[in-house]
Amino acid sequence: MNLAGTINTRTLPLLVTSALFALLFGFGSVSYDNFFSVQVFLNLLIDNAFVTVVAIGMTFVILTGGIDLSVGSIVALTTMVTAALVEQHHWSIWAVVPLVLTMGALFGLLMGSLIHYFRMQPFIVTLGGMFLARGLCYVISIDSIAITDPTYAAVSEYRIAFGEEAFLSVSAIIALLTLALAIFLAQYTRFGRTVYAIGGNERSALLMGLPVGRTKMLVYTLSGFCSALGGVLVTFYMLSGYGLHALGLEMDAIAAAVIGGTLLTGGVGYVAGSLVGVMILGVIQSLIAFDGSLSSWWTRIAIGVLLCSFCLMQRLLERGGTNLGFLFSYWKKPEEQADAVK
Amino acid sequence: MAAEPVLVMQDICKSFPGVTALKDAQLRLFPGEVHAVMGQNGAGKSTLIKVLTGVETPDSGEILLNGRAIQPESVDAAQKLGISTVFQEVNLCPNLSVAENIFIGRFPMRGLAIDWKTIEREAQAALAALNIHVDVTRTLSEFPVAIQQMVAIARALSTEAQVLILDEPTSSLDEDEVERLFDALRELKRKNIAILFVTHFLDQTYAISDRITVLRNGEFVGEYPASELSRLELINAMVGREIDEAGYAAQDGESTSPHAERPFVSVQGLGASGRIHPIDLDIYRGQVLGLGGLLGSGRTETARLLFGIDRAESGTIAIDGAPVRLNSPRKAVRQGIAFCPEDRKTEGIVADLSIRENIILALQARRGIFRYLPRRVQSAMADQFIKQLGIRTPDAEKPIGQLSGGNQQKALLARWLATEPKMLILDEPTRGIDIAAKLEIMDLVKAQCRKGLAILFISSEMSEVLRVSDRIAVLRDRRKVGEIDGKAADEQSVFRMIAGAEA
């Protein structure tokens, strides 16, 4: 495939996002000492590992044209259950992690079933899921539970070195592996392509004989699983379970997906874009931290502006795309067009 | 006929509650032939296709494929039997690539992964067989509708189809694109595929079909070789020569002479590709101009262009001699034009609101929310219209959804009359209402016209057009073919004009 063919209205948002990331990172490198280093870059991955994983699940949901508002709450619930089981019941990490992952997936499956079988709005169903999961956290405990289990601390502090000065955490590796799997799932499996087809035109997808209902349920299951995995990564990061963890994470995940080029109406976008989206959110935070004089709330302002301008860009591209279509006259030869004018 | 039919439908009957959609319908499809099914609205064409593709189950009758009885239960099942369908709207996913659209649902796999290389190669080949050469990795939405249509056909054929059903594939194509599609169909004929082609366009029917089956009111009228059936015979077979109800067809004597010498609206060369060829129309105050033509001849399209719903690509509109640009319904309304749309249920009434509110709607919208019509004025107005138009209802506060179709239509008429328009476009005002109500509506139209209103009247019932119109512009295949005086004309003279010189 040639380069010109690769750059089209579908891939352009992703390219713009990547360029913007490079620009922001470059800006930081010029403005602040010590900003330009491999480790600052890797720290973005480490600090945002859980957001990345959650955003990946969210991307699949948005690609079908749905939305999942429950992800932040499932993350919190996962940290709570993990902390309670590890600390109060002294379960092994190897038993707890599979359990909470299954729990997250089942939670997603439940919401997906409601959405599919009862034709309920994803917004409402997952809003309900959000309240439910957040509420369940406080049933376990109102306070934060610190995790002091030695195995847990060891996994949390383990660093994989790259060269002399750069390293990655276990969480970041898990996030990157999840991303690789998700890209494969989206681009090279029937499930992934059905997800795109549903987002493109659900009625057509049905008429083409695709398993629409099953895929929709699976997408929410996947998102629930990714949220639970994100929750596990949060426990590695924070070493605690708390009902107030990951407040508003669902919005960050949606923002990352949209900035990464995924259309909220579904059908268009790339999983990899969501990683870039997360990284952009991360680099803005780093810039503000390096500056030191700005309130951290400036992150929100920057994200707000970015989000709106990205939606605007996509809309303009969409419009431009239809105009571009006229430039490529696929079968009207020049002389035929001249005839048409007469 | 050279061969045995590949598919035979015998004595197919299908009723829905209250309607007999098909009664003893017959159809034979031969390999390597294009077979057109013709009929007016409600003739049963779509039901026939639905039965054949497994969307509906027939009440009685047989479908034989290669001599074997079949009972397809879904589109999917029909496809597995070798009956593929391309529906009117392209049922593909615009966000996926061309190749993917052809193969999704039956991707070849290589291990765990989809084998994209094979898909692209085979998609390219499948389209090449239809004489289409495009980059199959591009997104479907980048291509014009005609290519999308071809992609849908390629998808339908990639399952070893013996029978290909095309349900109005040309309704959104322009001429070049239609020609392109026909080339592909001729290619398929050579491959001995039986093609069922449904269209409203007479020219296209004759350009591509080998055989024509005509349905009317759900009944089988006849099967004819296309070369032996003249256009006029075809039209007569489609509309039938039924005797109209008493007084239904007759013009009611007195003519309405135009109140002004100068036309209120004068349209020159108004056209848009894929909708209507450039058309000239003059509409006078105090006159009804009827648009006559078969379904799909461009009647509604003309009205939509005139009202600014669709953008015209060529031509000018002059109102009272002054040129205007009507590129939005708002502008048309400001010029005093009102439009009663075809689909009463979705584009007309607001079912849950009362008759009063429905009548007042357009007027209030025009005044803006800051000049609220007092309730007293609203009620007086509604009552006046209810009396004037004879809307049968106990009072003006009844939800309009509870009225009969004819009374709903009258209320809609009242809505537009309340805005005191200078011109009224009526698109199928009599559809789906009983004959007495039809007569009443037509009389109301005439009465309004006598008060100096200019009216553009559209109906698929030719007898109605003849009854109310002072002049009739005759359309065929999205082209105006002539204009006749409403009083002098009868159905046959209009049909002869539609059939054109060949008849």
* CATH number of the domain enclosing A23: 1.10.3470
**A74-88, A155-169, B147-161: range with highest mean pLDDT:** A74-88
Angstroms from B177 CA to nearest CA on chain A: 9
Identify the band that residue B351 occupies on the pLDDT scale cut at 50, 70 and 90: confident
Q: Does position B251 have pLDDT exceeding 70, yes or no?
A: no
Q: Does position B347 have pLDDT exceeding 90, yes or no?
A: no
Dihedral pair phi/psi, residue B269, rounded to 5°: 60, 30
- CA B144 remoteness from chain centre: 21
Closest to B155 in 3D by CA, of B68, B95, B90? B90
Q: For residues A310 and A262, give the distance between their C-alpha atoms in angstroms, rounded to a whole number.
A: 10
Which residue of B95, B118, B175 to mutate against A (max A Cβ within 10 Å)? B95
How buried is A90 (Cβ within 10 angstroms: 0-12 exposed, 13-18 middle, 19+ buried)? exposed
Angstroms from A55 CA to nearest CA on chain B: 22
Cβ under 8 Å to A: B residues 233-292: 273
Cross-strand partners of B34 = B195
Q: Does A330 touch chain B (CB under 8 A)?
A: yes
A184, A200, A332 member nearest B94 (Cβ): A200
Is B285 within 8 Å of B259 (Cβ atoms)?
yes
- CA B157 remoteness from chain centre: 27
In a domain, A18, yes or no: yes
Domain span at residue A280 reads 3-328
Task: Note the pLDDT of residue A9.
Answer: 63
Identify the band that residue A335 occupies on the pLDDT scale cut at 50, 70 and 90: very low
Q: For residues B472 and A63, give the distance between their C-alpha atoms in angstroms, rounded to a whole number.
A: 52
Contact at CB, A10 and B93, closer than 8 angstroms: no
* Mean pLDDT over the full length of chain B: 82
Q: Does position B248 have pLDDT exceeding 60, yes or no?
A: no
For residues B123-151, give the mean pLDDT: 86
H helix or E strand, kind and range, residue B221: strand B219-225
Cβ under 8 Å to A: B residues 112-141: 112-114, 116, 134-135, 137-139, 141
As given in the structure block, the two tokens for residue B366 are 């025009």
As given in the structure block, the two tokens for residue A314 are 């996509």
Q: Which chain A positions have a beta carbon within 8 Å of B116's beta carbon?
A: 188
Residue percentage of chain B with pLDDT more than 90: 9
As given in the structure block, the two tokens for residue B472 are 């009739």
Task: Note the pLDDT of residue A342.
Answer: 36
Count the domains in chain A.
1
Residue B356, CB-side half-sphere exposure with 13 Å CA sphere: 16
Identify the band that residue A331 occupies on the pLDDT scale cut at 50, 70 and 90: very low
The gap between the terminal CA atoms of chain A, to the nearest Å, is 39
Residue A330, CB-side half-sphere exposure with 13 Å CA sphere: 20
Q: Which domains does chain B have, with CATH numbers?
A: 7-239 (3.40.50.300), 247-336+422-503 (3.40.50.300), 345-420 (no CATH)
Contact at CB, B142 and A199, closer than 8 angstroms: no
Identify the band that residue B2 occupies on the pLDDT scale cut at 50, 70 and 90: low
Q: For residues A222 and A233, give the distance between their C-alpha atoms in angstroms, rounded to a whole number.
A: 16
* Mean pLDDT over the full length of chain A: 87
Contact at CB, B95 and A200, closer than 8 angstroms: yes
As given in the structure block, the two tokens for residue A78 are 């996962």
Identify the band that residue A7 occupies on the pLDDT scale cut at 50, 70 and 90: low
In a domain, A9, yes or no: yes
Bridging pattern class, strands A159-162 and B7-16? unpaired
Q: For residues A338 and A314, give the distance between their C-alpha atoms in angstroms, rounded to a whole number.
A: 34
Task: Note the pLDDT of residue B399.
Answer: 85
Is A56 within 8 Å of A240 (Cβ atoms)?
no
Identify the band that residue A341 occupies on the pLDDT scale cut at 50, 70 and 90: very low
Q: Does position B278 have pLDDT exceeding 50, yes or no?
A: yes
Q: Does A150 touch chain B (CB under 8 A)?
A: no
Q: Does A318 touch chain B (CB under 8 A)?
A: no
Identify the band that residue B43 occupies on the pLDDT scale cut at 50, 70 and 90: confident
Angstroms from B282 CA to nearest CA on chain A: 24
**A221-225, B171-175, B245-249: range with highest mean pLDDT:** A221-225
Dihedral pair phi/psi, residue A339, rounded to 5°: -60, -45
pLDDT, one tens digit per residue, over B412-446 is: 888 888 888 888 888 888 776 766 777 778 888 88
Q: Does B176 touch chain A (CB under 8 A)?
A: yes
Task: Note the pLDDT of residue B87.
Answer: 79
**What DSSP letter does each residue of B448-470 carry, written as one string?**
HHHTT-EEEEE-S-HHHHHHH-S
Task: Note the pLDDT of residue B268.
Answer: 87
Q: Which of B380-389, B452-461, B485-494 has the lowest mean pLDDT?
A: B485-494
Residue type, position A186, single letter: A
Closest to B169 in 3D by CA, of B193, B195, B187, B188? B195
As given in the structure block, the two tokens for residue A146 are 């610190």
In a domain, A338, yes or no: no
Identify the band that residue A320 occupies on the pLDDT scale cut at 50, 70 and 90: low
Q: Which of A19-28, A190-199, B398-407, B452-461 has the lowest mean pLDDT?
A: B398-407
Q: Is B107 left (phi over 0), alpha (psi -120 to 50) or beta?
A: beta
Angstroms from B91 CA to nearest CA on chain A: 5
Residue percentage of chain A with pLDDT more than 90: 61
Contact at CB, A194 and B104, closer than 8 angstroms: yes
Angstroms from A173 CA to nearest CA on chain B: 23
pLDDT, one tens digit per residue, over A213-272 is: 999 999 999 999 999 999 999 999 999 999 999 999 999 999 999 999 898 889 999 999
Task: Note the pLDDT of residue B408.
Answer: 84
Query: Residue B423, SS3?
Result: strand
pLDDT, one tens digit per residue, over A93-104 is: 999 999 999 999
Q: Does position B362 have pLDDT exceeding 70, yes or no?
A: yes
Contact at CB, A208 and B94, closer than 8 angstroms: no
Contacts of A312 (CB under 8 A, 6+ apart): none
Q: Does position B19 have pLDDT exceeding 80, yes or no?
A: no
In a domain, A333, yes or no: no
Identify the band that residue B401 occupies on the pLDDT scale cut at 50, 70 and 90: confident
Contacts of B117 (CB under 8 A, 6+ apart): none
Task: Note the pLDDT of residue B194.
Answer: 92
Task: Note the pLDDT of residue A49.
Answer: 95
Is B433 within 8 Å of B427 (Cβ atoms)?
no
Q: For residues B339 and B332, give the distance between their C-alpha atoms in angstroms, rounded to a whole number.
A: 9
Q: Does A202 touch chain B (CB under 8 A)?
A: no
Is B184 within 8 Å of B213 (Cβ atoms)?
no
Task: Note the pLDDT of residue A8.
Answer: 62
Task: Note the pLDDT of residue B501.
Answer: 52
Q: Which of A53-57, A248-252, B240-244, B452-456 has the lowest mean pLDDT?
A: B240-244
Q: How many CB pairs lie under 8 A apart between chains A and B?
A: 87
Identify the band that residue A142 occupies on the pLDDT scale cut at 50, 70 and 90: very high
In a domain, A264, yes or no: yes
Residue percentage of chain B with pLDDT more than 70: 92
Q: Does A196 touch chain B (CB under 8 A)?
A: yes
Count CB atoms within 10 A of the CB of residue A138: 13
Task: Note the pLDDT of residue B177.
Answer: 77
B79, B91, B144 member nearest A330 (Cβ): B144
In a domain, A41, yes or no: yes
Q: Does A326 touch chain B (CB under 8 A)?
A: no
Query: Residue B15, SS3?
Result: strand
Q: Which chain B positions have a beta carbon within 8 Å of A197's beta carbon?
A: 93, 96, 104
Look up tokens 């099942």; give the residue: B77
Q: Does position A73 have pLDDT exceeding 90, yes or no?
A: yes
Instruction: Please give the residue of chain A at the shortest CA–CA distance from B103.
Output: A208
Contacts of B349 (CB under 8 A, 6+ apart): B358, B400, B401, B408, B411, B412
Angstroms from A6 CA to nearest CA on chain B: 9
A188, A190, A268 member nearest B95 (Cβ): A268
Residue type, position A96, single letter: V
In this prediction the ipTM stands at 0.82
In a domain, A336, yes or no: no
Task: Note the pLDDT of residue B249.
Answer: 42
In a domain, A341, yes or no: no
Task: Note the pLDDT of residue B253.
Answer: 44
Residue type, position B271, single letter: G
Q: Does position B304 have pLDDT exceeding 90, yes or no?
A: no
pLDDT, one tens digit per residue, over A49-71 is: 999 999 999 999 999 999 999 99
